Structures are given as structure tokens and as C-alpha cells.
């Protein structure tokens, strides 16, 4: 085919960048006469995945930045945002714009796999050639699985061994970004899509109704309210500007600047060891905070790897102390690949307990409803699962955890930082995840993962659920007797309690002696420091001034109960895909177990 006749529709999804994009490179290598970079505003993410205001804003910033980059290379270009789901709109676009090739980056997330399968079939029927390239990971997750004997990658050493068989353990080198971009069709031809019948949008279940304070008009016109295929505004998607509270900004330019500053600090990169970075540091935080950029693809993970690798090699050459995998920065990126490949092997069930062969079944409180006898699989994988409130007390703990009013200042500071900023340090995530599950509340990790899914600006299904399984000791990690104290762990990193003072300002005046355990402060001191420790925090002001809640339970007692219960659950030894789990009879096994908190409770109530 002569380049004259080549019309490429480039479908941006996980790659909001121009630098090092193998799919974009392949698309431009076709030498197209017409090149149309498109984003389809997919109702699946708008309604059926939990997304908070901060992550919406981050996405819009990434899209705006990409659109501007296109414009700077070709004033007639932009990111063409089309407001309809991809499986219905793409075939219409191909027809109207005479598309010959569809090009996109591989996405191994469960929803994306089935969507892309459907799109490929439609393209085949329409005679459109499809080109797909991997660029979201260091190594192709499916290839890692194959090299790991077809099994989920459950440890870094498995990833390293599998990667060794792919390219001697080295990710491909980054590709240069384009210097020029061909034209799209003229605006009149582009706008012909307005004549097409818009499909009815499937807006139920709407998991983001609460996030959207205002009226949304995101699907009223396929080309957007101005008819210019523009990146939506917050207002158009029904989100008020005041609900965006994150200080973290999106976009390729921002990502490249952060990476540049990071690698210029040779000591930082050379000595980086994750366990030695503080969860209490803010402005600046102690790790790179590049995760949201990797999530949206505003940064290439291979560029991250190689820029860091060059610093490490230089240091090694100069015989300077240099950290190594898995605690150094490349090690962190391998953890990311580990979770992607584990998800690629397990499929949609990776995000749940039911049907997931790698996850242990623990008899948590607030289990997903699909674990009940008549439970069904969440085939759409859209997080619509409901849960069973087996204990009103656990439900209350879960709510207090989510809202940052547990009465444990370290936990509350982190949960409020998460809500405000959409990002917390990895060890902060450890603390709050352990506290909600095996180290305090004994609430299902699936509840915690759903809260993170909404609030994180870096939410990545594979990494989120993978890490929740790790922290709850249901997969990847099994040392459940190693538990984070909400008091001692924070104190170790931040003896002055600065993180607490920032995010729990009602305790700002407390002496460092009491900042982690304010309930122990004498009443006279509490009054002097302007905050009484009383109630459950549901009312922030009381008659005598500001208040902070009492701890919601005795942590030492809860830790012991959780430890005993975990031990019993490990003895029962069920996993998510076992017959007893799939047919809903698993509870019987726990009822027979004497050592378990919940089974004892149940036996008592059943009598």
C-alpha cells in the first residue's frame, strides 16, 4: 500500500506520551498520509470503575499535555477525544475516516483484554489492519508468564529468572520520540463523525455518582460541547474544582522533569533502598512519586529503568556504594512487572478472592457477597461486588478507617493524606493495609483495595490488588506474625510526629510524648493543646472545642485476636479457586475451628 493510502488511527490508552512509545513508533513507521491520535472516552472507566476527583484531574492533565505536544509538532494536530465507548465507536470512525490501520499499546488488564479482543475482531471484519506493541511494562507480562512455566509470578526471583530467558534480563532500550507528526484529516472531514448515531451509554452501575457533585454532560455530543474533540473539563464530567485536592500534577513534561531531577541526584539513585525510605517524609517525599505517571503512561517505564541503570553502572564503575535488586529502583520496577504478570496469568479473578487460585481464603469480616453460597462471579470485573456485613462493629471500624478517624493518629494521618493527595508512601500503604486486615480490624482486603481504587492517583489494578494480597498475607507474603504497630512503627520514622501534625491538624499542638497516643495525655494538657480526645470522631467539633476520637479498639488485644485467627485460617488452608470456596461451603471448615475469632462468635450466636 502506498503511504498515500495509509490512514492510521492511533488509539491512546495506557500511553499518554510521545517519548519511547513502541506502538506510536510502529504507527509512524508506516509513513501514513493521515494520522489520527484518538482517545475514546470509555463509559467503563467513567461509570464502572471507582475513580476519585484527584485521579480524574491527573488524567485530564496528562491528556492536555499530550494534546499540546502533538500541537507543538504539528499545529493541525491534537489528541482527538471521542466521547463514546471504543467497541461501538471505532468501527464507525474507521468507516468515516477511511482508516486502514489501527495501532495501540498492549493492555493486559482484564477488561482491556476482552475489549481489545472484541475490537480486533471488529477490525478484521472491517478489513482494518491491527498493529499492537508492548510498551507498558519492562517485559511483556504474557511472555513473563510463559517463561515462568505458564504460572503466575509470585516472587521477584521468579520474575528475574523469567526475564533472564527473554532478553538476558534486560528490557528493550527506549526509542526516541517523533520529530514530526503527519496531519489528520481537515476539521470538516473529522467532524463528519457528528452525523453518526450515538450509542446509548451504559451508565449502570455508576460507581462514581458520589464523586460527581455537579451535572455531567460528557456524552451529549461525540466531539465534545464545543465540537472540537477537546479534552473534557472537570465541569463537563460533573466534578467541582474544589473536590480536586491533590498537589501532584500530571503530564509527560512533568514526568520527564521529575525523572531528570531524580537521576541527576546520583547519590539518591545510587543508594536508593526502599526499606530505608521514610513513609513520613512529605515535601519532598522520600521516593520518586513517579507511579501515577507510569499508570497513565506519561512516563515510559523502560526510560525510567535505563536512565537509572546508567547511573548505577557509572557508580559501580567508580566503585561507589550502589544498592541492588530488589530494594533499589530497578527492583521496584520489577515488583511492578511481577504483579502485572501475576494478573496476566490469573485473569479477572486476580482482583477477587473467589476463583483466584493464588489467594488464601481467610474468614475476614465484610467478605464479598460472591463468596456466599449463591455467590456469582464478577464477570464484568467492574468492581460492583457487594459485601456482607457480618459484624456491625467491623463495618464501623471500616468506615472509621476509610475516613481517617480510627483514633490512631498515624493511621488517620495516612488515610487523610491519601484522601487529600491521592498518594502515600509504600510503607504508609503497608501500615494502613495491615491495620485494616490482619493487624487490627480483620476486614477483607477486598474492601481496602476498593477504597484505594477510588482514592489513589496511581491506581493500577494489578499492583493494587497484588499489594493488598501481600499485606494481608493472603498471597506473595506469608509472615502474618510480623505486624505493623500503628504506634511504634510511625514513631520509629517520625518521632516528632510531623506527618500527624500536618494531616491531623487538631493534634498539631500535642507534645511528642503523646502525639501517637493522644488518649494518654492528661485532660488538662489536652485542653491546653486545644483538643479533647473523646467520642468517635463523627462530629469534629464539640462544645468544649476541637476533638479527636478515642482509639476504636485496644490494639494489642486486636493484634492477638488477628494473629490467632490468621493461624487458624492458615491451618484450614483454603484458596480462592478451591471447590469449597467456589460452591460456598467454605464457612463450615472455619466453624469447626476452635481457635478462630469469627467461628467462636458464630458458634456462640448460633446457640
Q: What residue numbers does the annotated binding site cover? A: 287-291
Could you say whether residue 458 binds ligand FAD (CB under 6 A)?
Answer: yes
Contacting residue, 115, 248, 419, 459, with ligand FAD by CB under 6 A:
459
Near ligand FAD in 346-375, by CB under 6 A: none
- Residue 156's Cβ-count burial label (10 Å; 0-12, 13-18, 19+) is middle
Could you say whether residue 152 binds ligand FAD (CB under 6 A)?
Answer: no
How many angstroms separate the CA atoms of 15 and 220, rounded? 26
Near ligand FAD in 30-89, by CB under 6 A: none
Could you say whether residue 429 binds ligand FAD (CB under 6 A)?
Answer: yes
Could you say whether residue 414 binds ligand FAD (CB under 6 A)?
Answer: no
Could you say whether residue 207 binds ligand FAD (CB under 6 A)?
Answer: no
Residue 263, phi-psi category: left (phi > 0), alpha (psi -120 to 50), beta (remainder): alpha
Nearest-approach distance from CB 443 to ligand FAD, in angstroms: 13
Nearest-approach distance from CB 460 to ligand FAD, in angstroms: 4
Q: Which of 417, 149, 400, 376 is nearest to 279 (CA)?
A: 417
Number of residues that bind ligand FAD (CB under 6 A): 29
Could you say whether residue 437 binds ligand FAD (CB under 6 A)?
Answer: no
Contacting residue, 289, 325, 487, 577, with ligand FAD by CB under 6 A:
289
Locus of grid cell 521514610 = 278
Q: Using CB under 6 A as the criterion, what x/- string covers residues 127-146 for binding ligand FAD?
A: --------------------
Report the relative pairing of strands 101-105 and 531-533 from DSSP bridges: unpaired
* Residue 9, beta-bridge partner list: 36, 102
How many angstroms separate the CA atoms of 296 and 90, rounded? 21
Contacting residue, 24, 184, 294, 415, with ligand FAD by CB under 6 A:
294
* Residue 487, beta-bridge partner list: none
Contacting residue, 460, 494, 506, 517, with ligand FAD by CB under 6 A:
460
Output the CA–CA distances (angstroms, integers) from residue 576 to 100, 170, 350, 362, 434, in the order listed: 44, 34, 10, 9, 20
* Residue 131, beta-bridge partner list: 103
Contacting residue, 255, 433, 443, 455, with ligand FAD by CB under 6 A:
433
Contacting residue, 56, 339, 408, 480, with ligand FAD by CB under 6 A:
339
Q: Which stretch binds ligand FAD (CB under 6 A): 151-159, 413-421, 456-464, 556-564?
A: 456-464
Could you say whether residue 463 binds ligand FAD (CB under 6 A)?
Answer: yes
Nearest-approach distance from CB 252 to ligand FAD, in angstroms: 15
Q: Which stretch binds ligand FAD (CB under 6 A): 118-126, 208-216, 226-234, 328-336?
A: 328-336
Q: Which stretch binds ligand FAD (CB under 6 A): 146-154, 353-361, 455-463, 594-602?
A: 455-463
Could you say whether residue 290 binds ligand FAD (CB under 6 A)?
Answer: yes
Dihedrals φ, ψ of 547, to 5°? -130, 160
Nearest-approach distance from CB 49 to ligand FAD, in angstroms: 12
Contacting residue, 41, 70, 452, 586, with ligand FAD by CB under 6 A:
452
Q: Annotated binding residues for FAD, as ranges?
A: 287-291
**Spatial contact of 223 and 83, defined as CB atoms under 8 Å apart:** yes
In sequence order, which residues have a C-beta less than 8 Å from that of residue 229 and are 6 or more positions away?
78, 79, 80, 81, 82, 190, 223
How many angstroms separate the CA atoms of 499 and 7, rounded? 53
Nearest-approach distance from CB 152 to ligand FAD, in angstroms: 15
Report the relative pairing of strands 101-105 and 7-11 from DSSP bridges: parallel
Q: Which of 337, 317, 324, 313 is nearest to 263 (CA)?
A: 313
Closer CB to ligand FAD, 20 or 517, in the complex: 20
**Spatial contact of 47 and 208, defined as CB atoms under 8 Å apart:** yes
Contacting residue, 21, 153, 218, 287, with ligand FAD by CB under 6 A:
287
Closer CB to ligand FAD, 166 or 289, in the complex: 289
Contacting residue, 137, 291, 323, 343, with ligand FAD by CB under 6 A:
291
Nearest-approach distance from CB 286 to ligand FAD, in angstroms: 8
Locus of grid cell 501500615 = 431
Q: Which residues of 548-558 are buried (b: 16+ CB within 10 A; e: fewer)?
A: bbebbbebeeb
Determine which helix (DSSP H) or strand (DSSP E) holds 53, and give its type and residue range: helix 53-73
User: Binding residues for ligand FAD, per CB under 6 A?
Assistant: 274, 287-291, 294-295, 329, 332-333, 335-336, 339, 425-426, 429-430, 433, 452, 456, 458-460, 463-464, 467-468, 471
Amino acid at each position: 500500500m502506498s503511504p498515500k493510502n495509509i490512514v492510521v488511527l492511533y488509539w491512546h490508552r495506557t500511553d499518554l506520551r510521545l517519548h519511547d512509545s513502541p506502538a506510536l513508533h510502529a504507527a509512524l513507521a508506516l509513513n501514513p498520509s493521515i494520522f489520527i491520535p484518538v482517545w475514546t472516552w470509555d463509559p467503563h472507566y467513567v461509570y464502572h470503575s471507582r475513580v476519585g476527583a484527584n485521579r480524574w484531574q491527573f488524567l485530564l492533565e496528562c491528556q492536555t499535555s499530550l494534546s499540546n505536544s502533538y500541537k507543538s509538532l504539528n499545529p493541525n494536530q491534537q489528541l482527538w477525544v471521542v466521547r463514546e465507548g471504543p467497541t461501538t465507536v471505532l468501527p464507525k470512525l474507521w468507516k468515516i475516516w477511511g482508516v486502514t490501520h489501527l495501532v495501540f499499546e498492549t493492555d493486559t488488564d482484564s477488561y482491556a483484554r476482552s475489549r481489545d479482543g472484541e475490537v480486533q475482531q471488529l477490525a478484521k471484519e472491517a478489513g482494518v489492519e491491527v498493529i499492537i506493541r508492548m510498551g507498558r511494562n519492562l517485559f511483556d507480562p504474557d511472555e513473563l508468564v510463559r517463561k515462568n512455566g505458564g504460572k503466575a509470578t509470585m516472587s521477584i526471583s521468579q520474575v528475574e529468572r523469567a526475564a533472564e530467558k527473554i532478553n538476558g534480563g534486560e528490557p528493550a532500550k527506549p526509542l526516541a520520540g517523533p520529530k514530526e507528526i503527519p496531519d489528520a484529516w481537515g476539521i470538516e472531514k473529522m467532524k463528519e463523525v457528528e452525523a453518526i448515531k450515538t450509542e446509548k451509554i451504559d451508565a449502570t452501575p455508576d460507581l462514581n455518582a458520589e464523586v460527581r457533585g455537579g451535572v455531567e454532560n460528557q456524552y451529549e455530543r461525540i466531539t465534545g460541547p464545543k465540537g472540537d474533540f477537546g479534552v473534557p473539563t472537570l465541569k463537563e464530567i460533573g466534578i467541582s474544582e474544589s473536590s480536586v485536592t491533590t498537589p501532584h500534577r500530571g503530564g509527560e513534561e512533568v514526568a520527564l522533569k521529575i525523572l531528570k531531577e531524580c537521576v541527576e541526584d546520583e547519590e539518591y539513585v545510587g543508594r536508593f533502598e526502599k526499606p530505608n525510605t521514610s513513609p513520613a517524609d512529605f515535601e519532598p517525599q522520600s521516593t520518586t512519586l513517579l507511579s501515577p505517571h507510569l499508570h497513565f503512561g506519561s512516563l515510559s517505564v523502560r526510560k525510567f529503568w535505563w536512565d537509572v541503570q546508567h547511573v548505577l553502572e557509572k557508580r559501580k564503575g567508580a566503585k561507589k556504594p550502589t544498592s541492588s535488586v530488589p530494594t533499589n529502583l530497578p527492583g521496584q520496577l520489577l515488583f511492578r512487572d511481577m504483579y502485572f504478570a501475576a494478573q496476566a496469568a490469573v485473569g479477572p479473578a486476580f482482583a477477587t478472592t473467589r476463583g483466584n487460585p493464588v489467594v488464601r481464603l481467610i474468614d475476614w469480616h465484610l467478605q464479598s457477597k460472591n463468596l456466599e453460597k449463591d455467590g456469582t462471579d464478577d464477570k464484568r470485573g467492574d468492581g460492583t461486588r457487594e459485601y456482607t456485613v457480618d459484624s456491625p462493629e467491623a463495618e464501623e471500624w471500616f468506615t472509621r478507617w476509610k475516613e481517617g478517624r480510627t483514633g490512631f493518629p498515624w493511621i488517620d494521618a495516612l488515610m487523610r493524606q491519601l484522601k487529600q493527595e491521592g498518594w502515600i508512601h509504600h510503607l504508609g500503604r503497608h501500615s494502613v493495609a495491615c491495620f485494616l486486615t490482619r493487624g487490627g480490624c480483620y476486614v477483607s482486603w477486598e474492601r481496602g483495595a476498593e477504597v484505594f481504587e477510588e482514592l489513589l492517583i496511581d491506581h493500577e489494578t494489578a499492583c493494587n490488588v497484588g499489594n493488598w494480597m501481600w499485606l494481608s498475607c493472603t498471597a506473595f507474603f506469608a509472615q502474618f506474625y510480623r505486624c505493623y504497630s500503628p504506634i511504634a512503627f510511625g514513631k520509629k520514622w517520625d518521632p516528632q510526629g510531623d506527618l500527624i501534625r500536618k494531616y491531623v491538624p487538631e493534634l498539631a499542638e500535642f507534645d511528642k510524648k503523646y502525639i501517637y497516643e493522644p488518649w494518654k495525655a492528661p485532660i488538662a494538657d489536652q485542653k491546653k493543646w486545644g483538643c479533647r480526645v473523646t467520642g468517635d470522631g463523627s462530629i469534629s467539633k464539640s462544645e468544649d472545642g476541637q476533638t479527636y476520637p478515642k482509639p476504636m479498639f485496644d490494639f494489642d488485644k486486636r493484634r492477638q485476636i488477628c494473629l490467632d485467627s490468621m493461624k487458624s485460617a492458615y491451618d484450614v488452608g483454603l484458596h480462592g479457586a478451591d471447590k469449597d470456596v467456589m460452591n460456598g461451603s467454605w464457612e463450615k471448615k472455619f466453624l469447626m475451628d476452635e481457635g478462630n475469632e469469627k467461628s467462636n462468635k458464630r458458634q456462640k450466636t448460633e446457640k
